[in-house]
């Protein structure tokens, strides 16, 4: 770090860009992560901000840097993979801010897949075996749970993490499921993998922080465990501020210090730039933010003391009678995310959501059908 610090001055700042969460523990964990990064750069001002559901917003954080006479900012997305938030929402917001203020903002890479992130994942899984010495890796099945995205490139990266951990730790088998948006979801995915006959199954949420999605994973796991008392399910901790995660953030920052960030860009499987099978209609779509209408809205949940207990989803489900439980668990918050806090028709004609081609997959979130129906209707109105 000393090599870079000597070349920097007080006009230089770092911004860690988060998604945001209603969950208080998730926000606390994000703040802790930022403090670890700040320790790596003691002579540089490090700030953080969120796209939605938490404060400070990214704009608030940028204003704070500018008010501290910062004229040049390195912005790093605190995201595991490059999907919609990394490709659209964050860069659009940063570019608009830069145009308005003449601040120079250099956008870095997402965390992605490297030796450090793979090592962090392997260590989280190995912690399970340290807690229970009776477990044998070769006789255990690993299920990695990803966030899930409408971007197949991001989803495929979760599967790569699964395989790297399986080989790194020497596990018997590995499968990948998702908490939402794509398929297979946690519950149907688990019900499929138990047919393989493993008596020990490790569930590893490949998430940075706590939150409603991590709680959703636990609830769906409980449903499957209740029906399969002969199987032992073990939960690995999500990544959080693991030392290798912090080092990856530092690596992303150093890439910009060394002017190497462009050397690592890979668009060969980006659905906006390559003619991916099944996603051909998205090539060349304008990439812009879909979060401007909720930026800066602080919506911390008062139903939980710290760790999310899923009360918000449970309350929502109790209001909807007669629906299949799997449907509710599959994607209630996905709909709330798009409909409760935003009017889908208030956008201008430049604001387009592509229709996810697998929204009606039987192992995916049924509620995505509502989102796609909205988009189809909106597109027809705009054409008329």
pLDDT tens for each residue of 361-382: 777 776 445 445 555 555 554 5
What's phi and psi for 85, nearest 5 deg? Answer: -65, -40
* Residue 335 Cα to chain centre, angstroms: 17
Q: At 97, phi and psi to the nearest 5?
A: -65, -45
Which listed residue (19, 85, 290, 338) is catalytic? 19
Measure Cα distances from 383 to 237, 251, 376, 377, 380 in Å. Answer: 48, 46, 11, 10, 5
pLDDT for 349: 35
% of the chain exceeding 70 in pLDDT: 68
Residue-level pLDDT at 323: 38
* CA–CA gap between residue 287 and residue 284 (Å, rounded): 9
d(CA 362, CA 267): 30
- CATH code of the region 115-235: 3.40.50.1400
151: alpha, beta or left? (left if phi > 0; alpha if psi -120 to 50): beta
Query: Which residue positions in the chain have pLDDT lower than 50?
Result: 1-7, 276, 293, 316-352, 367-368, 370-371, 381, 384
Neighbours of 277 (CB within 10 A): 6
Strand 200-205's sheet: what is its strand order?
Answer: 173-178, 140-146, 200-205, 232-235
Q: Where are the alpha helices (DSSP H) in 170-268?
A: 186-193, 212-227, 243-257
pLDDT score of 109 = 95
Q: CA 141 to CA 198: how far, in whole Å?
A: 6
Residue 19 catalytic?
yes
User: Which of 57, 68, 78 shows the shortest CA–CA distance to 12?
Assistant: 68
> Measured between alpha carbons, how far is 229 from 246 in angstroms, rounded to an integer?
38
pLDDT of residue 206: 98
Q: In this predicted model, what pLDDT tens digit does every residue of 34-82 receive, in sequence order?
A: 999 999 999 999 999 999 889 999 999 999 999 999 999 999 999 999 8
Looking at residue 279, its pLDDT comes to 54
Burial of 321 (0-12, 13-18, 19+ CB in 10 A): exposed
**pLDDT at 272 (0 to 100):** 58
The domain segmentation of the chain, as residue ranges, is 115-235
Element (H, E) at 163: helix 152-169
106, β-bridge pairs: 74
CA 300 to chain centre: 18
pTM: 0.77
- Cα gap 48→75, rounded to integer Å: 9
Cα torsion at 342, 347, 350, 351 (round to 10°)? Answer: 10
């Amino acid at each position: 770090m000393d090599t870079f610090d000597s070349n920097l001055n007080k006009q230089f700042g770092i911004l860690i860009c988060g998604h945001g969460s209603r969950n208080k523990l998730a926000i606390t964990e994000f703040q802790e992560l930022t403090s670890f990064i700040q320790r790596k750069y003691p002579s540089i001002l490090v700030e953080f901000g969120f796209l939605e559901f938490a404060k400070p917003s990214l704009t608030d954080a940028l204003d704070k840097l500018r008010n501290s006479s910062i004229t040049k900012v390195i912005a790093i997305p605190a995201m595991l993979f490059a999907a919609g938030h990394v490709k659209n929402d964050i860069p659009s917001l940063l570019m608009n801010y830069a145009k308005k203020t003449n601040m120079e903002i250099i956008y870095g890479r997402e965390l992605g897949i490297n030796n450090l992130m793979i090592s962090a994942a392997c260590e989280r899984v190995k912690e399970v075996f340290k807690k229970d010495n009776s477990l044998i890796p070769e006789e255990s099945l690993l299920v990695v749970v990803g966030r899930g995205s409408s971007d197949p490139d991001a989803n495929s990266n979760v599967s790569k993490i699964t395989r790297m951990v399986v080989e790194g730790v020497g596990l018997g088998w590995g499968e990948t499921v998702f908490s939402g948006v794509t398929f297979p979801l946690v519950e149907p995915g688990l019900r499929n993998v138990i047919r393989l006959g493993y008596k020990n199954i490790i569930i590893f949420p490949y998430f940075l922080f706590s939150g409603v999605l991590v709680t959703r994973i636990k609830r769906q796991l409980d449903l499957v465990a209740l029906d399969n008392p002969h199987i032992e399910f073990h939960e690995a901790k999500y990544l959080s501020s693991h030392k290798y995660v912090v080092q990856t953030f530092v690596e992303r920052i150093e890439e910009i210090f060394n002017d190497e960030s462009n050397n690592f860009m890979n668009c060969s499987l980006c659905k906006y730039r390559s003619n991916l099978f099944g996603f051909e209609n998205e090539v060349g779509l304008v990439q812009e933010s879909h979060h401007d209408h909720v930026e800066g809205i602080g919506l911390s949940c008062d139903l939980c003391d710290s760790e999310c207990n899923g009360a918000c989803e449970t309350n929502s489900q109790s209001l909807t009678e007669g629906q299949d439980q799997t449907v509710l668990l599959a994607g209630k918050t996905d709909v709330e995310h798009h409909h409760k806090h935003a009017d889908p028709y208030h956008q201008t004609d430049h604001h387009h959501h592509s229709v996810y081609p697998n929204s009606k997959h039987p192992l995916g979130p049924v509620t995505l059908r509502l989102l796609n129906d909205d988009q189809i209707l909106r597109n027809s109105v705009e054409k008329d």
